[in-house]
Amino acid sequence: MAAPLAILVALGGTTLGYFVQKIHRERARSTLLGILIALPFLMGFEAGTAPEAPLQAVRTSVLVDAPPGRVWRHVVRFTEIPPPDELIFRTGLSYPLRAEIRGSGPGAVRHCVFTTGPFVEPITTWDEPRLLAFGVTSQPAPMEEWTPWPSIHPPHLEGYFVSRRGQFLLEALPDGRTRLEGTTWYTHELFPTLYWGVWSDAIIHRIHGRVLRHVKRLAEEKGA
């Protein structure tokens, strides 16, 4: 994922090095020394002036051959999802397994269990069978890194991707089917935001798709 950025940085460094070596030796030394002295100040300036991470939304939808009332039951909670076929989920990225809920209505607490742990999602809107909205008060690590050491907690996985809230919207269609839309609002602290947003949006779409296809399958089963 970082390869395009690394290539750009390497090209910039190569270009700078080329022009520095073209300068007279004494001037080259002073130029390099100036760059080394300025680097910590530039890094501190960048960290101190970094803008607040923008709230981003990802929406994914499917058509379900079932009425909203039947779909709703499987949105609120759903059984274990079969193992993924997508290659991206075999790289260590966390993905959803099942959803559980304690209580019903606003104030109930839903747990969407991922491979690295549960998302704790207190319900904020319970408009059966149209809208289920929730906040996120706790979330697991976004991935498990490949490493020979057990139980490590690399700091670059903590706080850089934060799920803020989500919802499921069920729209009744004239032909008796349901348009089911899942939305996640999130922030991330990775720079540049636009570049990393492409990757995070794509991953969230895959996660949404895994859940929505499972709900669709459950709702469309005979006798569901």
Residues 43 and 61 occupy one common structural domain: no
Range of the domain at 169: 56-144+157-220
Q: Angle CA(165)–CA(82)–CA(181) in degrees, nearest 5?
A: 35
Q: What is the pLDDT of residue 47?
A: 60
The single-letter DSSP state of residue 35 is H
Residues 184 and 127 occupy one common structural domain: yes
Q: How many CB atoms sit inside 10 A of residue 216's CB?
A: 19
Q: Is residue 151 part of a domain?
A: no
Q: Is residue 65 part of a domain?
A: yes
Residues 119 and 203 occupy one common structural domain: yes
Residues 171 and 98 occupy one common structural domain: yes
Domain with residue 91: its CATH number is 3.30.530.20
Question: What is the mean pLDDT, run by run of 10 residues, along the chain of 224 residues?
Answer: 82 78 67 75 66 87 96 94 89 92 94 95 96 95 80 70 94 96 91 81 94 96 66
Counted domains in the chain: 2
Q: What is the pLDDT of residue 76?
A: 95
Q: Is residue 150 part of a domain?
A: no
Residues 81 and 22 occupy one common structural domain: no
Residue type for 184, please? T
Q: Is residue 63 part of a domain?
A: yes
pTM of the model: 0.80
Residues 177 and 74 occupy one common structural domain: yes
Long-range contacts of 140-149 (CB under 8 A, 24+ apart): 140/94, 140/114, 140/116, 141/94, 141/116, 141/117, 142/93, 142/94, 142/116, 143/91, 143/92, 143/93, 143/94, 143/116, 144/92, 144/94, 144/115, 144/116, 145/92, 146/92
Q: What is the pLDDT of residue 124?
A: 97
Residues 84 and 129 occupy one common structural domain: yes
Region of 176 on the Ramachandran plot (φ > 0 left; ψ -120 to 50 alpha; else beta)? left
Q: What is the pLDDT of residue 196?
A: 78
Q: How many CB atoms sit inside 10 A of residue 157's CB?
A: 17
Q: Is residue 82 part of a domain?
A: yes
Q: What is the pLDDT of residue 150?
A: 73
Q: Is residue 149 part of a domain?
A: no
Residues 175 and 216 occupy one common structural domain: yes
Residues 165 and 76 occupy one common structural domain: yes
Q: Is residue 164 part of a domain?
A: yes
Residues 9 and 98 occupy one common structural domain: no
Q: What is the pLDDT of residue 36?
A: 77
Residues 24 and 92 occupy one common structural domain: no
Q: Is residue 152 part of a domain?
A: no
Residues 67 and 39 occupy one common structural domain: no
